[in-house]
Structure 1
Amino acid sequence: MKTKFLSISLVALLLIGCKKGGYAESAYATADSAAVVSDSVSMAATQVVEGKQFVKTAEVDMEVKDVYDATISIEKQLQSLGGFVTKSRMEAQTLSEDTYNTSDESAMLVRKFQNQNRMQVRVPTQKLGEFLDFINDKKVFLNSRIISAEDVSAGIRLAKMESERQAKTQSNISQLKAGKDKVNLDDNNMSEANLQKYSDEILADNLKFSTVDIFIKEPKTSVAKIPIVNTKNIDNEYKYNFFYDVKNAFVEGFYLIQQLFVFLISIWPIVLIGGLVFYFLRRRKVFEK
């Protein structure tokens, strides 16, 4: 009896040990799976949930070694994935600009700048994770990455019910007698149906293609040396011409004398009256003496 009890206890311990071992193995597998997820793109970019539909968008702000090369690579990858570019604005942000004169005729413009590009692209939603993995490999430093997955399942069901309602309304309108009211009701219902169809098409497009906003720039400062003309020396060369200015001064003085003479002629009545008044006053003083 005692031997039988020991046998049963041993079997129980073995079973418990097997269960514990299985649990531990499962825990490690879960930890390994979590590690894989953390090393890959965010789950929001690749998740698939039964009965749910997501409109996915992403924003990436990062620094790359060469903006031009990175832009070309992104565009080629998009083309291979069936995506497309909706906006791309590449520009050089000027940090400083100085001019150094190298001779009487020449100078050097030294401009320090950083290349950057703002892009908006559409990529097939099923390949969003693959695309984000690709551009992640181009970075030298990631400033930020935002991935959004908006659940639009309820909106899709509502749109379907609205379409059914509009179809039923159209059927009811068709049974009415012809008249002005029927025309207005038919027109309003058709307008609502068109708007609903337009919204459905936009939603279908957003479900099929994800929008990704990308901002890339170079961490280093680039320098451009541009040969230019020494404008300061040219300004000094033509700033003052002695003989030309003397001639102009003489002519302007002659014009001034002419204007003064013409002015005196124009006020001759005042001069004449003043002269007569002075004459009679002087003559009066002589008689009084």
Structure 2
Amino acid sequence: MKSTYIKLSLSAVILLGVYSCKKGEASASDLEAYSNTEPASKMVSDSVSSVATMKIKDKQFIKTADVNMEVKDVYNATISIEKSVQDLGGFVTHSNLRSNVVSENTYNTSDEDAMLIKKYQTENAMQVRVPTEKLGEFLTVINNDKLFLNSRSINAEDVTSGIRYAEMESQRNKKTAENISQLKTDKDKVKLGDNNMTEGNLQKLAGMDIADNLKYSTVDIYIKEPKLRIAEIAVTNTTRLDNKYKFNFIYDAKDGFVYGFYLIQKIIVSLINIWPLLLIAACVIYFVRKRKGAKPEQSKIPD
């Protein structure tokens, strides 16, 4: 009986040890899970720009992005974005910040003063260029300024085949130049050499553009404020001034007299200009009346 009790005690101790180990493992895993809850937001923010950070061996991508979002203050967000671009080694190529006035009214507050009330909404359309390897970081940074994200698109254009084709074209152009140099010098050779050089320059320019687009990614950003703002601007009460100088009897009467005098002069000058017409009209009237006076005398028949 005693040996049975000892065995049961040992079994209980072993089970307690196993349970405590399991509990310790569970606590450790829970702690690790809890510790990962804080970086979870970071993981989400990083996943937001996962397309921007995509890298594939033996592939070359030109990456562009388009972001449309609402922010609390457009001006402050613009300053923050421009600073972030500069800190990452990029630059701003376009920024058009403006306020769209929805309504504008003036309210008189005294005989001299008034208040101009403007309701407006501020927006900004920007284009920035950031180093391609920091595109994901930049998108994560500007994501912190948003109140609401309307849309965001990221494009990665595979230009690997285009780069290889450009290399082959460069070799062909070089080979063509060597063949032209072996020709006999004449006008055709000069023309061929000039055309080949022009083609080579265009290929170099295209290569420079591709290299620049590979190094720097273009990001178009449109930000606006979700609600209207109100601006109160103190101005002068112009209504009182308008009423004060709107009508002056003495001046208007004098001006009317002068205007009437000039009007008479204009009428007289106009009549002088059409004197031939007046003369012809007078002659016509005279002969018509004379003819009407002669007809009754001729119509009398003697008895």
Interval of TM-score (by shorter of Structure 1 and Structure 2): 0.7 to 0.9
Q: 1:271 to 1:151 in 2, by over 3 A?
A: closer
Contact 2:67/2:222, CA 8 A, preserved across alignment: yes
Contact 2:71/2:223, CA 8 A, preserved across alignment: yes
Query: Given the alignment of the two structures, is residue 59 of structure 1 paired with residue 66 of structure 2, yes or no?
Result: yes
**Structure 1 residue 252: deviation in Å?**
3.5
Contact 1:112/1:222, CA 8 A, preserved across alignment: yes
Contact 2:95/2:125, CA 8 A, preserved across alignment: yes
Contact 2:104/2:119, CA 8 A, preserved across alignment: yes
**Aligned letter for 1:214?**
I
Q: Distance in 2 between matches of 1:253 and 1:77?
A: 73
**Aligned letter for 2:257?**
F
Partner of 2:194: 187
Partner of 2:131: 124
SS in structure 2 at match of 1:71: helix
Q: Distance in 2 between matches of 1:167 and 1:258?
A: 88
Partner of 2:83: 76
SS in structure 1 at match of 2:227: coil
| Aligned partner of 2:99 among 78, 84, 92 | 92
| Aligned partner of 2:245 among 233, 238, 241 | 238
Unmatched runs of 5 consecutive residues or more in structure 2? 1-40, 297-303
Partner of 1:157: 164
Partner of 2:142: 135
**Structure 1 residue 195: deviation in Å?**
0.2
**Structure 1 residue 103: deviation in Å?**
2.5
Q: 1:272 to 1:148 in 2, by over 3 A?
A: closer
The 10-residue stretch of structure 1 (205-214 or 76-85) with the greater mean CA deviation from structure 2: 76-85
| Aligned partner of 1:227 among 234, 259, 266 | 234
Query: Given the alignment of the two structures, is residue 213 of structure 1 paired with residue 220 of structure 2, yes or no?
Result: yes
**Structure 1 residue 178: deviation in Å?**
0.8
Q: Deviations over 1:80-139 (max 9, x none)?
A: 111011111111111211111223332211001112111110000000000000000111
| Aligned partner of 1:103 among 110, 115, 120 | 110
Q: 1:254 to 1:278 in 2, by over 3 A?
A: farther
**Aligned letter for 1:66?**
D
The 10-residue stretch of structure 1 (242-251 or 143-152) with the greater mean CA deviation from structure 2: 242-251
**Structure 1 residue 255: deviation in Å?**
4.4
Percent of aligned positions that are identical: 57
Contact 2:49/2:140, CA 8 A, preserved across alignment: no
Contact 1:37/1:43, CA 8 A, preserved across alignment: no
Unmatched runs of 5 consecutive residues or more in structure 1? 1-34
Q: Distance in 2 between matches of 1:50 and 1:39?
A: 25
Q: Distance in 2 between matches of 1:59 and 1:84?
A: 16
**Structure 1 residue 76: deviation in Å?**
1.4
Partner of 1:173: 180
**Aligned letter for 1:202?**
D
Query: Given the alignment of the two structures, is residue 199 of structure 1 paired with residue 200 of structure 2, yes or no?
Result: no
Q: Distance in 2 between matches of 1:92 and 1:238?
A: 35
